Structure 1
Amino acid sequence: MFNNLNKIVGLANQKFTVLKEYSENFRLYNVGSFAVNRLVSNKGFKKIIDIPYGENERHKFDLYRTEVPKPERPLIVFVHGGAWNAGDKKDYHFLGHAFVTEGYDVAIINYRLAPENIFPAYVDDLVLALEYLTDQQTEFGIECKNIILLGHSAGAFNIMSAIYYPHHMGGYKQQENIKAIIGLAGPYHFDYKDDPLCANAFDQSVSYKQVMPYYFVEKNHIHHYLLMADRDQIVADWNAVDLNEKLNEQQNHSKIIVVPKTGHITIMGSVSSLFSPFFQTKAEILSAIDEALNKV
């Protein structure tokens, strides 16, 4: 009995340690992103904040319009992480700046959060936002024929699930608009049962095999890039490895890219123009987009 009790206590301590580490890192990241956002420039592009795409308070996005667009006029749609419990678009000005100055229009999306909202609410929000952007593209002076979906952590799950969605539900229908999906440290194939970080973001009575995008992959034209942090202590590497294998089985384009010197949180912060000279993250994303648009 004591052995079983020790195992239970050990697992509880392990879950607490993971949760504590993630929470502390995420708080530090928020503080850091606030500082970085104040340091990057607001010049050379147009920024429109808090554009509503639905009726909920979280149904808003910020739009960055480039002054020198790429010939294909691509649109990057970014979805933040936060274990589906936290995160806000206002913390990612550095990301908008990093890519709008490279000739890309950028939309940074907010979505409904757990525990008040569980799967598939936050994926439905992304689908709604994509449909709104497509319908209103002329009004905003953007184009939606070359969309790049970019997401970090939980956001990487959301962008993948917007395409690979349980068949009885839905998903983004105009997939011809999506040229690339780029996930940073994404969880695509894991059992969320009693997970210390995100159990409250999923219906615990529903098997992960009825939810994870891994189980709903279909053949399509989209380029997939699964970026992994080489020091990730939060999301296991099998998430990207398994999804990459499943995508290849369907003869879809897919690449795993391991980014050196980054962890689960820092892979996101390293995109900032202040830090990108010291990390490969931004360069890998730009290379992936170029490959997807030009079919290199």
Structure 2
Amino acid sequence: MSLIQDIRQFAKSSLTQAKQKYDDFNIYDFASQQLNLRTAKTGFSLSEDIDYGEHPRQCFDLYYSDQPRADQAIIVFVHGGTWARGDKSDYLFLAESFTQSGFHVAVINYRLAPVHQFPDFVDDLVLALNHLSMHQQELDISMQHVILMGHSAGGFNVMSALYSPTDYELLCRANIRAVVGLAGPYHFKYVGDASLEKAFNKAIDYQTVMPYYFVQHNQIEHILLLAQNDVMVAAQNTKDMHQALLDQGNSSRIVTIPRTGHVTLVGSVSSHFARYFKTKKVILTHIEASLRHFQLEDQTKT
């Protein structure tokens, strides 16, 4: 091989590696890494990599608040990443923040696209929730008061666990007090978008998939947060889902968080930034209202 050919081959290889590094880089990863570095490792204890299935991605981390609430309420959080990336370890900052408010927090991993498509990642969430319910004593938790929370693709997963073409046997369904959706996509067409097509079967019509079309009446409080400067997920997703929930007589509220984008919205709940944004305060206000409502109902029944 000549010197010129050597140079060309080296250049081609370097460009390929550079492209791969660019493709692998993700603002989620960078932002969460920076937040996690600034997050105190106090106020909670952590049990990592608890399996709820046989696949390596079917596991979760469980954060125990050092000063748990009297009602032992638990937040189950599902990460985003276009169903193709992301990891539970990226969300130490979120878990730490809510353990400071007395919540235990479970952060769920799920199987990823393109190897796995809808409904695999929703199936995983249901499986994880049922595992938490069936192993409460072993895990030293209570699933009597459950708050589901998801960011971006995770918001879709959370909504789809409740509103889906599949009639899931969800053991904690009656104990879900609130759903918090952070910039979630709930009503969209995925055909024609290369990144979204990886996670869904193009041959299946989106109207047979989106949680928007399967909303049922219940007593759950829905808190739907929008980032003011979100350029990744259209606000109409949230507005459509909100209206579908209201049409079924459900409780739903939309709150727009100023000065946030798609990624910074979830970052704004961290202890490091919570005082500068209203995100965490809004979430806690509505969760507390929902928990009080159910506590009053329980007292009335007794």
TM-score of the aligned structures, taking structure 1 as reference length: 0.89
Query: One-letter code of the match for 2:78?
Result: V
Which deviations, in whole Å up to 9, do the C-alpha atoms of 1:200-252 show, x marking residues without a partner? 10000000000000000010111111101111111111111111111111100
Alignment of 1:253-264 (within 5 A): 253-264=251-262
Cα distance in 1, alignment partners of residues 24 and 264 from structure 2 = 9
What do the CA deviations read for 1:78-127 (whole angstroms, capped 9, x no partner)? Answer: 00000001100011000110001110000000000000000000000000
Matched, 1:209 2:207: yes
Deviation digits for residues 29-52 of structure 1 (CA, Å, limit 9, x no counterpart): 312311221221112211011111
Residues 120 and 289 (structure 1 numbering): CA distance in 2 closer, same or farther, change over 3 Å?
same
1:244 aligned partner, one-letter code: H
The residue that corresponds to 1:285 in the other structure is 283
2:122 and 2:227 map into 1 onto residues whose CA distance is 24
- Structure 1 residue 171: Cα displacement: 5.5
Compute the displacement of 1:26 (Å): 7.1
Q: Tell me if structure 1 keeps the 8 A contact 2:43–2:96.
A: no
- Alpha carbons of 1:155 and 1:171: their partners in 2 closer, same or farther (altered >3 Å)? farther
| Residue number in structure 2 paired with 1:50 | 49
Is 1:267 the counterpart of 2:275? The answer is: no
> Secondary structure of the equivalent of 1:126?
helix
Name the structure 2 match of 1:225.
Answer: 223
* Cα 1:196/1:119, change in 2 over 3 Å: same
C-alpha separation between the residues in 1 aligned to 2:169 and 2:274? 33
Structure 1 unaligned runs (5+)?
1-19
User: The residue matched to 1:244 in structure 2 has which SS?
Assistant: helix
Partner of 1:249: 247
Could you tell me which amino acid in structure 1 is paired with residue 196 of structure 2?
A: C
Give the Cα–Cα distance (whole angstroms) in 2 for the partners of residues 25 and 178 of structure 1: 36
Tell me the distance in 1 between the aligned counterparts of 2:80 and 2:170: 20
- What is the identity, as a one-letter code, of the residue corresponding to 2:94? L
Counterparts of 1:28-177 in structure 2, within 5 Å, are: 28-167=27-166, 169-170=167-168, 172-177=170-175
The aligned residue for residue 11 of structure 1 is: none
What is the SS of the residue equivalent to 2:26?
helix
Q: Aligned pair count?
A: 274
Q: Give the C-alpha shift of residue 173 in structure 1.
A: 4.7
Given the superposition, is the C-alpha separation of residues 210 and 26 from structure 1 closer, same or farther in structure 2, using an over 3 Å criterion?
farther
| TM-aligned CA distance change 1:210 to 1:173, over 3 Å | farther
8 Å contact kept, 1:164–1:171:
no
Amino acid in the other structure paired with 1:281: T
**Which residue identity is paired with 1:100?**
T
CA contact (8 A) 1:165 1:171 kept: no
Contact 1:219 1:251 in 2 (8 A): yes
Structure whose alpha-carbon radius of gyration is higher: 2
> Take 1:171 and 1:26, find their aligned partners in 2: how far apart are those partners?
37
- Deviation digits for residues 123-154 of structure 1, max 9, x if unmatched? 00000000000011111111001000000000
* Kept after mapping to 2: 8 A contact 1:78/1:149: yes
**Coordinate RMSD, CA, aligned:** 1.8
Q: Give TM-score scaled by structure 2 length.
A: 0.87
In the alignment, what sits opposite 1:5?
none
